[in-house]
Amino acid sequence: MEVVEAMAPYWHQVPWNAHSAHAGGASADQAVSRSRASIAELIGATPAELIFTSGATEANNIAILGLAAAGRRALPERNRILTSTIEHKCVLEAARYLGGCGFRHEMVPVDADGIIDTDRLEAMLSPDVLLVAVMAANNEVGTIQPIKEIVQMTHEVGALCHVDAAQAVGRIAFDVLDLDCDTASLSAHKMYGPNGVGALYISASTPIRPEPLFFGGGQEQGLRPGTLPVALIVGFGRAAELAQDNIAHAPRLADLADEFLSCLARRGVTFYLNGHREKRLPGSLNFRVAGVEAETVIGQLGNSLHLSTGSACQSGELQGSYVLRALGLGDQDVAASFRVCFGREHTLEDARRAAELLADAFQPCETAAGRVVQQRGETHGGVYIG
C-alpha cells in the first residue's frame, strides 16, 4: 500500500516529463533523483551508477550485449562469454545471440543443489574470457550463489562479471561494493514494487562500460533513451526504502517454508527438495513428489492455491524446466516438481493451510509423472562444459 500511495500523485497531480525544463518537469526530476538515491543506498552504490530500465530483462541485455560491443573494440582478444547452466532465459538468450556474432558462449555446470561448480569455473577462466554472467539467486529453485568468490575469480583473469540480482535485492543483503561486481540488474516487482521498471548498476570503477543498444534523446547517460516512467520509478524507490524491513522478515519466511514442508510430512507426503537446503532464498521452495503430475495437481487446485511448476517466463513449455534438468533431474522428476514462494503477508496458518490443500489434491492425482514432458537437451546455443 505504501508503494501505491507514493506513486499515486505522479499519475495525476504531477504527470510531468522528468526531462522537461518547466517547473512540473523539475518536480518530476526531483522525484526520480530521490528514488535513484534510495535504490542506490539499498545496494551500496552511488546514484550516478544506476540506469533505469523497464526491468531486469532489459538490464541484463544492456549489460551483456553492451559489454560485448564495448569489449569487441577495447579488448578484441577476449571473445568468450561464460554463464551458468541455470541462468534466466534473458541471460542465456543474450549470450546465445553473441555466440552467432563472433563470441563463444560456454556454460558452467552446477551441482545437484544448483550451486555453480567453482572448480570448473576456475578451470574455464582464462585471458580470453570477456564476461562471466551469473545470477545471485536462482528464480526457480532459490539457490544462492557464492557471488563474491565468483567475482574474485573472474577479476583475477581480467574478465568482467555481471550479476543478475533481480531475485536477491530486497530479499537478502546485496552490497555491490562488498561483492565488487562490474554490473548488476535489479527488478522493482521482486521487492514489492511495480511491474515494468528495473535498473542496471554499472560500477564507476569498471574498466569498460556497456555501449548503447538503441538510441534517442540521450537519457540515462545515453544507455537507455526514452521518457522515464516517473510513477513507476517513484514506486521502485519507495519499495527500496521498505526493503530493509523485507530483509528483516527473512527468518520468518524461512520458518513458513519449514512449517509448510513439516505439514506435508505429517500428512504422509514424501517429497524431495530441489536446490540447496540452507543456501536458498528465504521462503522459496522447489520440491518434487514422486508419482504425481504437477500440472494435473495445480489444475485441480484451481484458485484455492497458487503454485507453479517453474519460472513464469517459461510457462507452458512442454520440455519442462531446463533449470531442474541442469540439476540432474529426469522426465518424471521434472514433471513432479512444484514451486512455492512465501511472502511477507503470509502467516504460519497460511503455510499449514497450503500444505493441507496440496496434500488433499495429491490423492486423486497420483499417476505416472512425465508423460507429457519430453526429454530435450537445452543448451540455448552455448557449449556445455561438463
Instruction: Please indicate whether residue 315 or residue 185 has the higher confidence score (pLDDT).
Output: 185
pLDDT at 13: 81
Task: Give the CA count within 13 Å in the CB-facing half-sphere of 62.
Answer: 31
Contact 70, 211 (CB under 8 A): yes
Q: What is the mean pLDDT of residues 181-188?
A: 98
Contact 163, 147 (CB under 8 A): yes
The residues, any chain, with a CB within 8 Å of residue 350's CB and separated by 6 or more, are: 256, 342
Q: What is the pLDDT of residues 5-35, one digit of tens each?
A: 999 998 888 776 766 657 667 788 899 999 9
The answer to whether residue 364 scores a pLDDT higher than 70 is no
Q: What percent of the chain has pLDDT over 70?
A: 89
Instruction: Please indicate whether residue 372 or residue 41 has the higher confidence score (pLDDT).
Output: 41
Superfamily, domain 249-365: Aspartate Aminotransferase, domain 1 (3.90.1150.10)
pLDDT at 287: 96
pLDDT at 1: 83
Q: What is the mean pLDDT of residues 138-156?
A: 97
Q: What is the pLDDT of residues 304-332, one digit of tens each?
A: 888 888 655 554 454 579 999 999 999 99
Q: What is the pLDDT of residues 217-237, one digit of tens each?
A: 889 899 999 999 999 999 999
pLDDT at 18: 66
Domain ranges of the chain: 2-245, 249-365
Lowest mean pLDDT among 89-98, 299-308, 315-324: 315-324
pLDDT at 313: 52
Q: What is the pLDDT of residues 31-82, one digit of tens each?
A: 999 999 999 999 999 999 999 999 999 999 999 999 999 999 999 999 999 9
Cα–chain-centroid distance for residue 380? Answer: 18
Lowest mean pLDDT among 15-24, 240-249, 276-285: 15-24
pLDDT at 316: 47
Render 86-123 in DSSP notation, one character per residue. T--HHHHHHHHHHHTTT-EEEEE-B-TTS-B-HHHHHH
The grid coordinates of residue 108 equal 558452467
61, 140, 168, 276, 351 from 55: Cα distances, Å: 10, 18, 14, 27, 30
The pLDDT-based confidence of 289 (bands split at 50, 70, 90) is: very high
The CA-CA-CA angle for residues 3, 9, 11, to 5°, reads 95
Average pLDDT along the chain: 90
pLDDT at 310: 63
**For residues 107 and 317, what is the distance between their CA atoms, to the nearest angstrom?**
22
Render 165-208 in DSSP notation, one character per residue. -TTTBTTB---HHHHT-SEEEEEGGGGT--TT-EEEEE-TT-SS
The pLDDT-based confidence of 190 (bands split at 50, 70, 90) is: very high
The answer to whether residue 193 scores a pLDDT higher than 70 is yes
pLDDT at 24: 67
What type of residue is 86? I
The answer to whether residue 381 scores a pLDDT higher than 50 is no
The answer to whether residue 366 scores a pLDDT higher than 50 is no
The grid coordinates of residue 234 equal 517513484
The answer to whether residue 93 scores a pLDDT higher than 60 is yes
Contact 327, 110 (CB under 8 A): yes
What is residue 49's DSSP assignment?
G
Cross-strand pairs, 384: 107
| Choice among 101, 313, 341, 365 that is catalytic | 313
Known active-site residue 313: yes
Instruction: Please indicate whether residue 25 or residue 264 has the higher confidence score (pLDDT).
Output: 264
The pLDDT-based confidence of 365 (bands split at 50, 70, 90) is: low
The pLDDT-based confidence of 244 (bands split at 50, 70, 90) is: confident
The answer to whether residue 382 scores a pLDDT higher than 60 is no
CATH number for 2-245: choose from 3.40.1180.10, 3.40.630.30, 3.40.640.10, 3.20.20.60: 3.40.640.10
The grid coordinates of residue 216 equal 534517442
pLDDT at 23: 66
pLDDT at 379: 41
Spatial strand order in the sheet of 104-108: 50-53, 198-202, 183-187, 160-164, 129-135, 80-84, 104-108, 383-384
The CA-CA-CA angle for residues 224, 8, 230, to 5°, reads 15
The grid coordinates of residue 348 equal 504460519
The grid coordinates of residue 385 equal 562444459
The single residue listed with the C-alpha cell 514451486 is: 339
